[in-house]
Chain A
Amino acid sequence: MRKPLLRLEGLTKAYPGVLANDDVSFEIGEGQMHALLGENGAGKSTLVKMIYGLVKPDKGTMTLRDQPFAPAQPSDARRNGVAMVFQHFSLFDAMDVAENVALGMENPPPLRDLARRIRDVSEAYGLPLDPTRLVGELSAGERQRVEIVRCLLQDPKLLIMDEPTSVLTPQEVDILFRTLRKLSSEGTAILYISHKLEEIRALCDEATILRGGRKIATCDPREKTARELAELMVGQVLHPPARPARPVGDVVLAVDNLSLKSNNPFGTSLKDISFTLRAGEVLGIAGVAGNGQDELLLMLSGELLSPSAQVQLKGLPVGHLGPNGRRKRGLVSAPEERLGHAAAPDMSLTANALLSASARKGLAKNGFIDWGASEAFARAIIARFDVRTPGPHVLARALSGGNLQKFVIGREIELDPDVIIVNQPTWGVDASAAATIRQALLDLASKGAGVLVISQDLDELLEVADSFAALNEGRLTRVRSSKGLTVEEIGLMMGGAHDMHVAQVASV
């Protein structure tokens, strides 16, 4: 048994209407790799926020190396050797690496010294990083390194990592894991939050599983199968989506040699994109975040226009048509960002149903809105996709992420399209809702629609896609069949470790 580093006892935190954590107790040993598992909304974030001093527990105590530990704010936690790498980076694109690191420090040394230390630490842990590069030019994996190095400079005893691999290629994941193992062997404990079960089985030596704010179990993940872990997380038996064999029909969407400049200074321009999508086909497009996924969706949905012949829908040029013109001709889309892009936060679900459905569902006659029909349509989406909400009058922002995602994807599927484009369809959605959404997409394909799924979740793509391509710095690889595709190959399609030398971790 390892010496305990951090002990949590009876941690409880309530928010209005929800008990985010209910009497959670467990221990993290020195140098231990401890996984925190759970679905979205299980209380993982609240729990680590309490450890990191961002949230104060209502009840319960923490003990760090036999001393009472009650950080009032993150700087207290950092002083006690607790560091955290967040899922969403807090970096400034227009500043270089060293400046960004300095911003996160209490008493930053002169930039020149800092740059040297960044270089030393990053080399020692196999995380190559040039302190003088602008963060805006870095890949997601490199940005994460900035965050990790920022933490390592504080010489932490406990490193909390929130979903660190969601932005990495498989090769980058390997590099990260080697770094984490080295840290662990030197005595740094790691609290690793994820819902990727295979990763946790490969990396961690203990796992605590949360469900609905309560601790369900602490176990050794290597002794359980991924399926057993998933069922512990969800609390029910899972069924993988059914994929009936289906005939593949004519080309419904063709993009020909399209280049498009991004309208965002730190966005990714698309370069020479060409592919075809057939009726009944599910095409999966992988890629690390920020490699042109958003731009690809905007270009296909009609929010960004292109020369008309370069985007063809059922043989007709549509590149010059806006979103509603394309919807009328059978192409619908669901962007990644639910709140603010796919849905208007401060409008009701009825209004949000109208948002994209008016063109195809005839919800407006001569421009006059049929609110009754819009509400009925919203109700239909809510019923078919099991959206948990008191009713269609509720504001979109009052829904949880997963429920809103079901609503947004459901809305597009209910439009009975010939082509549907979705970006990150199950991001932040719990396992059973994700299964519903994937099944609905597969059903749509078997009814003869062309389905294009852009996703950073490789397991998801392997589960649903018939054919496969990857976006890397705005370029799309050749489309190939997903039969027999290995994760290794996908990783290389995604750009490997983004042209960085696979790091040499000093042997332990």
Chain B
Amino acid sequence: MIQLEKRKEPSKFWRIANPFLAVALTMLAGGIMFAMLGKDPFVAIRLIFFDPIFSETFASYSRPQLLIKSAPLILIAVGLAIGFKANVWNIGAEGQYIIGALFGAGVALAFFPAPGWYIFPLMVLAGAFGGFLWGMIPAILKTRFNTNEILVSLLLVYVAERILAAMSLGLMRNPDIAGFPGSRDLRRYEAAHNAELFANTGIHWGVVAALIAVIFAYAMMTRHMLGFHIQLAGQAPRAARFGGVSPARLVVVCLGISGALAGLAGMFEVSGPGGQVRIEFASGYGFTAIIVAFLGRLNPFGIVLAGLLLGLTYIGGELSQMMLQLPGAAIQVFQGMLLFFLLALDFQTNYRLRLTRGASA
């Protein structure tokens, strides 16, 4: 008979080992999936995980892409992880990302074509503010009416997507090009362009912001009372109240921080790699960041590693689409499997399987 037994203390070993094991299992299961699609699994796995960095043919293009794809994932995931630690489940980062992009682009388009050093910083503030506002909707609904933030934040993603489409077709559409949806290309507007800071590295202001966010988040979670209260509220809500933590305030803080960071990510994307407000601007970073946060064990430095890995699957996914004609959805399945395996494996940090002998009457 197999019995589940709760561990006295969560296993530290499995906490660290599980993300690696989950990656290995994902490669295995993904390989099987690719084989069933009629592709050589070894080639596909190599294309996704190794070629973007090591292949001579692709690396010169892909290596800078790695930071470009990973930075928004890390930026968003750092914010989400803070909330997740407090059991505040913001699933709508994608929506906050979109609204942040719209606010940032809105500032740029309002100033166009004026020059000025102050335009880009204003866009940064506007982007963070937009994401913050979008995060405040589930926060206030939860604290006032006790709604479920998971549901509200998720549904607001679809509202944000509609707003994005409306903006691309209406208010923000480029007036100089008749007929096409989409705004002006911000990369061609110097004062608003989030350009590469060092040539061919992929490092733009979003990468810098992600690094700063990682360091700040780490300092806050380990050294500041706010971080202590966040962990307390997540682990022992009654003890948190005893410690003087107001649960409502924490919901607002957590959704505010994660919303603002997601908004920043959207703003850096729209003013740089994305370039313009258009209907298909949102590429799922807000959802993938949830995987990044968990894979990184909700730890800011773990999130850096996880963000780089998931960034890699984006690039590798594109590469394998190009080279092997793998369907684009395959890479989303791949990312989903990663979270699936991780959550399944995490069971053994808290429980152990035990084989017991003996019959029971």
Contacts and interface: CB of A to CB of B under 8 A. Distances in A.
A102 interface: no
Interface stretch (A36-44, A194-202, A361-369, A449-457): A361-369
A252 B235 CA distance: 34
Given A342-B239, A355-B239, A76 B226 contact: no
Nearest to A395: B9
Contact of B361 (A72, A367, A371): A72
Given A323-B242, A337-B238, 4 more contacts: A75-B361, A340-B239, A346-B10, A358-B243
Given A347-B235, A369-B223, A73 B360 contact: yes
17 contacts: A301-B242, A323-B243, A341-B236, A341-B242, A343-B239, A344-B235, A346-B235, A347-B235, A356-B242, A356-B243, A358-B225, A364-B225, A367-B224, A368-B223, A368-B224, A369-B223, A398-B9
Contacts of B238: 337, 340-341
A49 to B, nearest CB: 16
B352 interface: no
Contacts of A151: none
A342 B242 contact: yes
A323 B246 CA distance: 10
Contacts of A355: 232, 239, 242-243
Given A354-B228, A369-B228, A303 B242 contact: yes
B247 to A, nearest CB: 11
A351 interface: yes
Contacts of B188: none
Interface in A323-362: 323-325, 327, 335, 337, 340-347, 351, 354-356, 358-359
B162 interface: no
Contacts of B8: 398
A187 interface: no
A322 B244 contact: yes
Interface string A56-79: 000000000000000011011000
Contacts of A371: 223
A260 to B, nearest CB: 16
Interface string A295-330: 000000111000000000000000000111101000
A395 B232 CA distance: 13
A351 B231 CA distance: 11
B252 to A, nearest CB: 16
Highest count of chain A CB atoms <10 Å: which of B223, B228, B232, B246: B228
B296 to A, nearest CB: 20
Contacts of B224: 367-369
Given A351-B228, A354-B228, A341 B361 contact: no
Contacts of A343: 236, 239
Contacts of A354: 228
Contacts of B226: 367
Contact of B235 (A345, A359, A398): A345
Contacts of B223: 368-369, 371
Interface in A392-435: 395, 398
Given A76-B361, A368-B223, A369-B223, A303 B241 contact: yes
Highest count of chain B CB atoms <10 Å: which of A73, A323, A355, A358: A355
A335 B246 CA distance: 18
Interface string B1-23: 00000001110000000000000
Contacts of B235: 344-347
A351 B236 CA distance: 13
Contacts of A345: 235-236
Contacts of B241: 303, 323
Interface of B: 8-10, 223-226, 228, 231-232, 235-236, 238-244, 246, 360-361
A324 B244 contact: yes
Given A303-B241, A340-B238, A322 B225 contact: no
Contacts of B232: 344, 347, 355
A354 B239 CA distance: 12
A327 B228 CA distance: 18
Nearest to B219: A368
B10 to A, nearest CB: 8
Which 3 residue pairs are nearest across A and B when measured between Cβ atoms?
Answer: A324-B244, A344-B236, A323-B244
A351 B228 CA distance: 8
A347 B246 CA distance: 19
A322 B243 contact: no
A347 B232 CA distance: 8
Contacts of A341: 236, 238-239, 242
A192 B188 CA distance: 86
A345 B8 CA distance: 11
Nearest to A358: B225
Contacts of A368: 223-225
Nearest to A355: B243
B253 to A, nearest CB: 12
A428 B235 CA distance: 24
A302 B244 CA distance: 8
A71 to B, nearest CB: 9
A166 B68 CA distance: 65
Contacts of A327: 244
Nearest to B361: A72
Nearest to A16: B8
A260 B240 CA distance: 21
Nearest to B246: A322
Contact of A369 (B225, B239, B242): B225
Nearest to A341: B238
A50 to B, nearest CB: 16
B225 to A, nearest CB: 5
A58 to B, nearest CB: 14
Interface string A155-176: 0000000000000000000000
Contacts of B231: 347
Contacts of B240: 344
A200 to B, nearest CB: 34
A63 B129 CA distance: 75
Contacts of A337: 238
Contacts of B243: 323-324, 355-356, 358
A345 B350 CA distance: 14
A10 B352 CA distance: 31
Contacts of B361: 72-73, 75-76
Contacts of A364: 225
Contacts of A358: 225, 243
Highest count of chain A CB atoms <10 Å: which of B225, B232, B241, B244: B244
A184 B149 CA distance: 58
A335 B226 CA distance: 23
A332 B361 CA distance: 52
Highest count of chain A CB atoms <10 Å: which of B10, B225, B242, B360: B242
A72 B360 contact: yes
Contacts of B242: 301, 303, 323, 335, 341-342, 355-356
